[in-house]
Structures are given as C-alpha cells and as structure tokens.
Amino acid sequence: MEHLTLHGSRDETAADKVVLERNPDMNLQPSAICIEQVFDKLPVHNCDHVIAVLCVLSHTRTDDKRCEALSEYGRTNCTLSDCIRAKMVELPDLGYYSVITYAANVDETAECYRRLGFEYAGFNIPGESRTVVQGHNLIAFFDFYEKLDLNFRGPDIPVLATELRALGFEIVIANGSTLTWDEDRKAYAHQLPNNDVARGIREKYPDILECGDFTVNDPDGLSLHFNTNPGERESLLDSAAHPVFPNGVSPIPVTFPLGDLVIRLSVVDPDASASFYRRLGFTAKTIEAGTLLRYTLGGTHTPRPGCPALLLQASAQTGAEIAFLCSDVDAAIREVEAAGVPVQVSPPAIVDLDAREVQLISTSA
C-alpha cells in the first residue's frame, strides 16, 4: 500500500491522506505523478475519484508517464493528468434511486404512513407493493423484501456495470442473467440467443440491450441494486429526474413536519463507508449525528430529486433503517402522537406497524 499526501484539494470532504491500492503487476511510481498540480487545476471534486482512476490505469513501463486511458472514454495514449481530468468529469450516472423496505402487510403499513401525510404515488399493487410519497420523500414497501435496500433505476446497465468495474467495484450478477463479461471487449454485454423469440423482444423493446440488473454491496453489506426495465431509459434521459417527480416537482405536497427522509446506516468504519459512497458520486457533510451523504448527478453538485440522503453512524452492529431529519423534533413528535401513530421518547422515533424504529433526528444534531 502506498500513502500519497494530496495538496491543493478544494474538496472540503477530502482527507489529507488517501490510500492507493496498487495491483501487483502495475508497478506504478507515485513519485512520477504530479498530483498536486492536477488538483490545483481541477474544479471542486472528490479525491477518492482520482484514486479510483489511478487504480485502473495500466502503465507499460516504470518510467513511462503516459498511459492508455479507458477505451470507453475514447482517450488513448494520453498523459496521466489528461486521463484524470477526463475521468473526473465523466463519473457514471447511477440513475435515480429510492428506498425499498419490508412490510408484513403492505396495505396496512402504507395506511399508517398516510396518517403521517404520505399519499400513494408511483408503482402500487394492492396486497403486494405500495409506494407512498410526501414532498420528495418516497418509500416503497414490499412483502417479499427481507431488509432495506437501495434500488437504482434508469441507467444503461451494461455500460454502468463496465464503468463501475473499471473503478474497482465488485459487480454481482444474478444466476441466469443474460448480462455477462466480454473479455475481448473488456465490457459487460447481454448474450441473447439468435432466434425469433429474441428478435421479437428486441423489436418490441428497442432499449432491451440497455436494460437488466446487477448488484454492488457496500462495505457493511447494504445492497445497491441497479435495475432498469424497458422504457425507463427513455424517461431518465428525457427528464433526468425520478419518474415520480416530473421535472423534480413532487405530486404530493408536504403537510406533516417530518423533514427529509434519510437512510440511517449503522457502519463499522464510517470513514471507509464514506469513501465508498464518495467514489460513487455522493458528497459528504459531517453533522453531529454522523456523516450525511447526498447523491449528486454524475459527480456534479446537482442533487438527484427524490433520492434520500444517507446518514452514516458508527456502530458495532451494522444495519439500515429509514429516519427523518427534523427541524423541530418535539413538534414532530406531538404531530405524530396526534395522528394516532405510536412514538418512543428516547431516542425520539416513530414505531410503525412493522416495529421499525424510525428515528427523528434533529437537523442541528
């Protein structure tokens, strides 16, 4: 392991030292990399993205300061600085995501949240799945989910899987999937049979080869599911927003003082977890309650509408639950009690029908 001290970074979330994990056959010489000058010339960015780039570069000789950039970015035989510049502005767009969690009885649980100002929106199948929304807060309940997961929708699945693999993420493909790694092309692609059925599917769904699914697991076991169905590619490209929030506007106004929905992640090593998510394009902010991570579009500082922030909290027991960041916790507790929904005092929380402890966390905390 080599520790590089990075100077001149304008990213307030970047640590002074980050770790460059070298592949045994890379033979990369840190002394040959003028990272300080690169950082000084870049706009606001995240140092973990630069490290991710360094981890996938292939150098032909120890004294060679030139590299072959990733072919999908169309940059070959470029200088290391140029490669870093290109990659920094072309972070993958993960699509839009929302909270998916378990409910023993989706209809009854959804009705509980409707008493808190939520209303039905988006995808709903009575008895199987319910989606409730208030403002930009969206929760999807399914009776077959065992735990909370993040579900990203809309990206080009083979392209995104290829990009994330190049950035060092482990891609998990479900058994039976047609999505496979093409060693010759160094890319993921669908392997569909050449028959009338497959041709009919491609004619009916022109974007089928951009669809599919895969999973990436975070350091504490939270699953990030990337899943795009036919038709979702076009809606993502047209609106660049969550389909429940056309042009970023919610169909359900805020009528209850719960604040912003967050995903509270109990993690063993908050720094390692924050680094993992920053490499995916999240920006980090430290508050008293933990580290707040917000997803920004392709590494920019533009928030993705409807995508809740993640709140990292150190804990020996890992897990994920929903929570709310409230400007006035006491007022929220009074409103919840008045709505007839059970609450607990310490820590302040809503107790829903599935015995979830939905904590109410002060924004000043």
The radius of gyration of the chain's CA atoms, rounded to the nearest angstrom, is: 22
Provide the token pair at 96. Answer: 């839009």
In terms of C-beta distances under 8 Å and separation of at least 24 residues, what long-range contacts does 330-333 make, across chains too?
331/257, 332/257, 332/258, 332/259, 332/360, 333/360
Average pLDDT over residues 2-21: 34
CA atoms within 13 A on the CB side of 28: 24
What CA–CA distance (Å, rounded) separates 92 from 171?
15
Candidate from 11-15, 96-100, 245-249 with smallest mean pLDDT: 11-15
Q: What is the pLDDT of residues 178-230, one digit of tens each?
A: 899 999 989 999 988 888 888 888 888 888 899 999 999 999 988 899 999 88
**Contact of 310 with 303, CB cutoff 8 Å:** no
What CA–CA distance (Å, rounded) separates 299 from 272?
19
**Contact of 296 with 280, CB cutoff 8 Å:** no
**Contact of 179 with 190, CB cutoff 8 Å:** yes
Q: What is the pLDDT of residues 133-180, one digit of tens each?
A: 998 899 999 988 777 888 888 889 999 999 999 888 999 998 888 899
Q: Is the pLDDT of residue 363 over 90?
A: no
What CA–CA distance (Å, rounded) separates 43 from 11?
9
Q: Using the 8-state DSSP alphabet, how is residue 297 labeled? A: G
What CA–CA distance (Å, rounded) separates 21 from 217?
19
Query: What mean pLDDT, rounded, does the chain reach?
Result: 74
- pTM, to two decimals: 0.72
- In this structure, the strands spanning 66-67 and 78-79 are antiparallel
Question: What count of other Cβ atoms lies within 10 Å of the Cβ of residue 15?
Answer: 15
- In this structure, the strands spanning 260-267 and 309-314 are parallel
Hey, where are the domains in the chain?
2-88
Residue 238: per-residue pLDDT: 53
Alpha helices in the chain (DSSP H): 35-41, 47-56, 80-88, 106-114, 157-166, 196-204, 232-239, 270-279, 329-338
Q: What is the pLDDT of residues 219-259, one digit of tens each?
A: 998 889 999 988 777 656 555 556 677 666 788 888 888 99
CA angle 166, 276, 81 (to 5 degrees): 50
Whether the bond into 30 is cis, omega within 30 of 0: no
